[in-house]
Structure 1
Amino acid sequence: MKIEVLGTGCPKCKKTYKNAKKAIKELEVDGEVTKVYETAEIAKRGVMSTPALSINGEIKISGEVPGVEEIKDLIEGIN
């Protein structure tokens, strides 16, 4: 599983990254959480508002900081 946090590195983006890492750990899922900082790449994916969360290449959340439980629900919906 590949989870990406798209954003410019603002506090909300950092919190989203932290929450995603925690969700993966709590679920004991084999996955990778990475950051995407490049504005051109973020725009290319159609994200207009950050932070955004992508799971396996699909944007799941944009413009808000998802909580750990919300991220876990999204991950469980894929597995």
Structure 2
Amino acid sequence: MLRTYKKFWRRYFDFKGRSRRSDYWWVFLINIIIYLVLATIFLLSSGLSVALNADVDNFSALTWIALILLIV
């Protein structure tokens, strides 16, 4: 699984040949897991009520980092 993810990033701009369907879905699954971890960090570091009210004055540095990574 991680080997497939590394291969994806190493051959990202190599447009020769084809990828297998399983390679695509493994990368998709790992990206979803990364997104869920970052979203959890964002919600836990900001506090759920602060995140739902979008009170950006109370965001910590960890919250801003997690939010930026989520957007990227």
Please say which structure displays the higher CA radius of gyration: 2
> TM-score if structure 1 supplies the norm length?
0.29
Structure with higher strand content: 1
**Structure with more of its chain in helix, by fraction:** 2
TM-score (norm 2): 0.32
Structure number with higher relative contact order (C-alpha < 8 Å, ≥ 6 residues apart): 1
